Chain A
Amino acid sequence: MTNAPSVEVDGVWKIYQSTSRRTSLVALQDINVKIPGGRFVSIIGPSGCGKSTLLYLMHGLVLPTRGSVRVGANAVQHPRDTADLTRAMVFQDAMLLPWKTVSGNIAYGMEVGPRARKALPQGEIEKRVEQCVQLAGLSGFERYFPHELSGGMRQRVNLARALAPDPDVLLMDEPFSALDAQTRELMQEELLRICGAESRTVIFITHDLEEALFLSEAILVMSSRPGRLLEKFENPLPRSRDLSIKASDDFVKLKRHLWSLLEAEVRRTVAKTEGDGYDKS
């Protein structure tokens, strides 16, 4: 049994009004989903379908036009206004502060915002940083600066930074898509190892069907814009898995099934972006 909170999206719409064009853009259309606590769920969908918007809504960085988002029992507020912040976000780009070392960057999440005001005991921050350095495979690099690290290393720091405050809910926006394919494989394995041990609610956005199948327990499939939830797909693969599972028949079959759900949507997106020239991806 896990203490990690569930994430509940209730009748959520996100509509952007464009003042100049007098048009409105429906990014998300009537999203209803309840993600039980402690699960690893991926969100897949074509480019521009609103996946990132949905993630930002779950974190409170963006407000829904209609409907509500809850984490646990509470409605989601901006992280700044959340007294007990148990969520953390991992972005697609590492976005590390170039003037801080690896350790400094990892500690950042605990030095600002509601967590800073929680006044942790003196050595606690250093302890957590050290734990996350180990966890993310960054031992020995504590005093390095971001510009001295490779892309993969920087993403590890990005991940460690999000893990350091020990969040119950981890929101990840295509964290591995900027990495080369080989590093990506390794990072997927690392992430499974890291998240497998704890019982966190993880919501993971990706374009990569294999990545989604490899990492998650359930997959949410979204349509092209306006983003709707097409299907909530339960992943039948055994929970303990390693990279070799990607070659198994079951895996290949599941991947083909996911693609059959997505293909029409992706083609629709490609056609649209070639057509109206209004691309909000």
Chain B
Amino acid sequence: MKPSDEILRGQEKEGTGGGPHRRYMFLSILSVLLGVVAWQVTARFASKLFFAGPWETGVAFVELLRSGDLQPDLWVSGLEFSYGFGLSILIGVPVGLAMAISQRVEAVVDPWASILYSTPRLALGPIVVLWLGIGISSKVLLVFLGALFPILISTYVGAKNVDAQMKLVAHAFGATRGEQFRSILIPGALPHIISGFRLGAIQGILGVIVGEFFGSRRGVGNMIFAAAETFDTAKMFVGIAIFAAAGLVASFALRAIEKWYAPWRQNASE
């Protein structure tokens, strides 16, 4: 215990930036519960046409499940996300690593990464649907485009920031470039890469919604838009809740993986 610990004990010791501390988990849960209560209270006073409370949403959810109406939508959206996200990992990670290793590759790819970053997917939505139709492929592309950039950049930064001293150790023991890549670069970059997955997942979910908005037959987003037209507010809320839950689960799961793999990282990602 250093004297500075004692001084800091009076104030809150800074967290590591990897999300709320486990000790305060119950506060997070309490916060969500309070939100649900507020939600329910609002529903009592709002018009049924525009608002559905948690109970009503829950009932609608169960009904949709029982009628078998929800499952195909969940399946389609899930597929769109999985394919798109998987593709973005398959391409984003190797290209990010290549960029970190080779300055030539970096020079070639970098302008496209910037272009990708600055083009809003909302603007691309209509044309992608025009090209690829209202089937799955247009959504997959939009998910892919959304998730690619965070994954690419995180991989690149993670690889670049591997401590140069580690590479010196590899050199001193005579590691070949391949061994250096395998034993130092990949494990060193991995925490950053995983945090990139988390950001990419969130952008990917957005891609599902955008794609389904501009033309789709099925999917959870499609369900929301169709329900809006028939003023089936409860169904809309079911869809929204599903997306929210998906984002939460992805974020939580990936943060947990990141924390498990890299407990030594003091300055974790945002």
Inter-chain CA distance A61–B166, complex, in Å, is 14
Flag if A91 contacts B172 (CB, 8 Å): yes
Residues of chain A within 8 A of B179, CB atoms compared: 112-113, 116
A67-104 CB mask vs B (1 if < 8 Å, else 0) is: 00000000000111110010011010101011100000
- In the complex, whether A214 has a CB less than 8 A from a CB of chain B is no
Give the contacts of B168-214 with A (CB-CB under 8 A): 168-176, 179-180, 183-184, 187-188, 190
Q: Which residue of B lies closest to A146 (CB)?
A: B264
Residues of chain A within 8 A of B166, CB atoms compared: 95, 97
Known: A108-B183, A111-B183. A99 touches B176 (CB 8 A): no
Inter-chain CA distance A82–B174, complex, in Å, is 8
- In the complex, whether B165 has a CB less than 8 A from a CB of chain A is yes
Residues of chain B within 8 A of A151, CB atoms compared: none
Residues of chain B within 8 A of A14, CB atoms compared: none
A37-78 CB mask vs B (1 if < 8 Å, else 0) is: 000000000000000000000010100000000000000001
Which listed residue, A61, A93, A109, A113, touches B176 by the CB 8 Å rule? A113
With both chains docked as a complex, state the minimum distance between the C-beta of B18 and any C-beta of chain A, in angstroms.
Answer: 15
Known: A95-B165, A99-B187, A108-B183. A61 touches B172 (CB 8 A): yes
Q: Which residue of A lies closest to B175 (CB)?
A: A112
**Given A80-B171, A91-B168, 19 additional A-B pairs, CB 8 A:** A78-B171, A80-B175, A82-B174, A91-B169, A91-B172, A93-B165, A95-B163, A97-B169, A97-B183, A97-B187, A98-B262, A99-B262, A108-B169, A108-B183, A109-B173, A112-B175, A112-B179, A113-B173, A147-B263
Residues of A at the B interface (CB closer than 8 Å) are 59, 61, 78-82, 85, 88-89, 91, 93, 95, 97-99, 108-109, 111-116, 145-147
| Shortest Cβ-Cβ A-B pairs, 4 listed | A113-B174, A79-B174, A112-B175, A147-B264
